[in-house]
Chain A
């Protein structure tokens, strides 16, 4: 039992380190519309944010309780707001930041409603 637990930890750490290595070593093509001097740095930014979103989705998949899943969805919303703010820079489409603001508002309201529901009250209390 103890050995399998340790093996699971080792497997998870190895998978995360492998993903980080793949972010920095493998040349993954991403389409950019405007060439900035820091465009390759922004590519690493996207890939690292996608790695964090993948870790959040892992917690959504196997959280033991409902509260774990709500926490992971909340954190995923905040990550997506940051993603929308970064994607404004290389593409030059200025309405991506509006998507981020709307996502932040909706994520806050939905988290409050879900926590009220978890507590066992009605929504207008």
Chain B
């Protein structure tokens, strides 16, 4: 029973991972790619970690997997924020048809 639940979680996580990587290839801009890939792949890997925790239960491996998932959930968003800030400050433009740029307006003031 717990094996089946874990496999279902791993399958959901794999779907999220694959679509995140597809967005990383397909989207037109650095910021779009960052937004698509970071959210999808972080949630997908956290779901894989939940599946491993459901299979192994409250053993050493299961608790390590849960800790690794929580660590990824905390740090991946921080890394993406720092990366987008660095990319904007290093002078990479937005894509051609973008409508609004609030961070650039704030920097001009």
- Which A residues contact B (CB, under 8 angstroms)? 12, 16, 36-38, 41, 45, 48-49, 51-53, 55-56, 58-59, 65, 67-68, 70-72, 74-75, 78-79, 81-82, 85-86, 88-89, 94, 97-98, 100-101, 104-105, 108, 111-112, 114-120
Contact = CB atoms under 8 A, between A and B. Distances in A.
Given A67-B30, A88-B52, A78 B3 contact: no
Contacts of A38: 3, 7
A31 B98 CA distance: 49
Interface residues of B, number: 47
Interface in B29-62: 30, 33-34, 37-38, 41-42, 44-45, 48-49, 52, 55, 60-61
Contacts of A58: 25
Contact of A55 (B25, B34, B60, B65): B25
